[in-house]
Amino acid sequence: LSALPAGIFGGLHSLQYLYLQDNHIEYLQDDIFVDLVNLSHLFLHGNKLWSLGPGTFRGLVNLDRLLLHENQLQWVHHKAFHDLRRLTTLFLFNNSLSELQGECLAPLGALEFLRLNGNPWDCGCRARSLW
C-alpha cells in the first residue's frame, strides 16, 4: 500500500482515531482526510512518506495528535498544518528534514509537544524563522 485510494474515508464523519502506522505509504493526496471532521488522533509513523502538501491535512479541525515520526519526510509545505489549530502533539522526529519554515508551525497555537530530533537540520540563517 504505497498510497491511499481517493475517497477511502468519505462519509466517516464520526471517526476519531485512525491507525495507519507501519505501512508502506509514500504519498498522501490533498483532501484525503477532508471528511474526517471529528478525527482526534492520526497515526502515520513508520511509513515512507517523503512530502506533505498544502492540503494533506485539510479539514482536520479537531485533530489533537499527529504522529509522523520515522518516515522519510524531506519537505513540508508551509500550509500543511494550516487547519490543525487544536493540535497539541506533533512528532516529526527521525525523518529526513533539513529545514522547516517557521510559517509552517505558526497556526499551531495549542501545540504542547513537538519532537524534531533525529533530522539532518541545516541550521543556517534560513532556520531563524523557526525561533
Give per-residue pLDDT as tens, 53-101. 999 999 999 999 999 999 999 999 999 999 999 999 999 999 999 999 9
- Confidence at 123, pLDDT banded by 50, 70, 90: confident
pLDDT at 126: 57
Sequence-distant (≥ 6) Cβ neighbours of residue 97 within 8 angstroms: 73, 74, 75, 76, 116, 119, 120, 121
CA distances, 114 to each of 2, 59, 90, 111 (Å): 27, 21, 5, 7
- φ, ψ of residue 17 to 5 degrees: the values are -125, 135
Q: Mean pLDDT in the chain?
A: 95
Its pTM stands at 0.93
- Confidence at 1, pLDDT banded by 50, 70, 90: confident
CATH number of 1-30+44-97: 3.80.10.10
> Is residue 130 scored above 70 in pLDDT?
no
> Is residue 128 scored above 70 in pLDDT?
no
How is residue 64 written as a grid cell? Answer: 489533537
Q: 60 in helix, strand or coil?
A: coil
